[in-house]
Amino acid sequence: MFYLKAFGIKVEAINQVISIEQSQADRSKKTFEPVKIDLLTDQVTKVTLGRLHFGETTANNMRKKGKPNPDQRYFMLVVGLYAANQDQFYLLAAHISERIIVRASNPGQFENDSDALWQRGQVPESVTCHGRVGINTDTPDEALVVCGNMKVMGTVMHPSDIRVKENVQEVDTNEQLRRIAQMRIVQYDYKPEFASAMGIDTAHQTGMIAQEVQEILPRAVREVGGVTCGNGETLENFLMVDKDQIFMENVGAVKQLCKLTNSLEERIEELEIWNKNLVRLKHLRSSWKSSVSSSEASSL
């Protein structure tokens, strides 16, 4: 009896075997079992092994600066023809594939129907993804996560229609000014192991410290779970800043400064009027003194 067996091996350690799984029609998975084949004399035998995928992913899949990771790991697929005799398999021939990168988003690795699927959109020249999209990351935790720089040639729009809002209240701009005055603006350099993992080209930045902002404006800071750096270190409870919240604080602070400026302008105008009145009184007093002096001189 003859059997076809398929398994994966690691390029850097070919003695380490990677199991192969086979997806069923309902997208469930099971371990791939050797396929029995019949070899007939003077005939070509064709066998199709469908819906196969590796049981795990390669390491260091995250791209750096748009290029493959220098420490990228690879698998190779091995398909072998074996002769079987009394529960023993004997290799007759085998084929090894080229190097393969296996990512978590491989089409063969569907866990259930809710996984992300790309399809044509309802409007021309569009595609739709029902799930989360990660660019330079295998673990997006939002609708779109980008590790690296992003260019936007247009504008970013936010919903602001009054018809979808409730509990609308004016904010205390004086408090916003006070909070902004407390925030510290610093220059800093991202650590190389973090910058490389996140695809950050310019490590030197100007901004704020999330822990400091959290003490002043808690709603502008969010925990996003663990973040893994290039050296393998995982930073638990990583903090990120919502700059839109800080921007709106700045708008309120500017409004409060406008109020103070207008108040000062009104006060200055009042002082200028008082000053003009004082100058006019001083001038009248001088004129009155001159008239009195002239009258006394004429009497003499």
pLDDT band for position 140 (cuts 50, 70, 90): confident
246: Cβ contacts below 8 Å, ≥ 6 apart: 183, 208, 213, 217, 220
**In this structure, what token pair is assigned to residue 139?**
């673990």
pLDDT of residue 116 exceeding 60, the answer is no
Could you give the residue ranges of the DSSP H alpha helices within the chain? 173-182, 192-198, 210-216, 243-299
Whole-structure pTM value: 0.52
What pLDDT digit, counting tens, does each position of 145-190 carry?
888 888 889 998 988 999 999 999 999 999 999 999 999 999 999 9
Residues 203-210, mean pLDDT to the nearest whole number: 92
| Domains, the chain | 2-96 (no CATH), 172-293 (1.10.10)
Mean pLDDT of the chain: 85
* Strand locations in 46-142 (E): 52-54, 75-85, 88-96, 118-120, 127-129, 133-135
What pLDDT digit, counting tens, does each position of 91-102 carry?
889 999 999 988
Q: Dihedrals φ, ψ of 107, to 5°?
A: -55, -25
pLDDT of residue 80 exceeding 80, the answer is yes
Task: Tell me which of 125 and 222 has the higher pLDDT.
Answer: 222
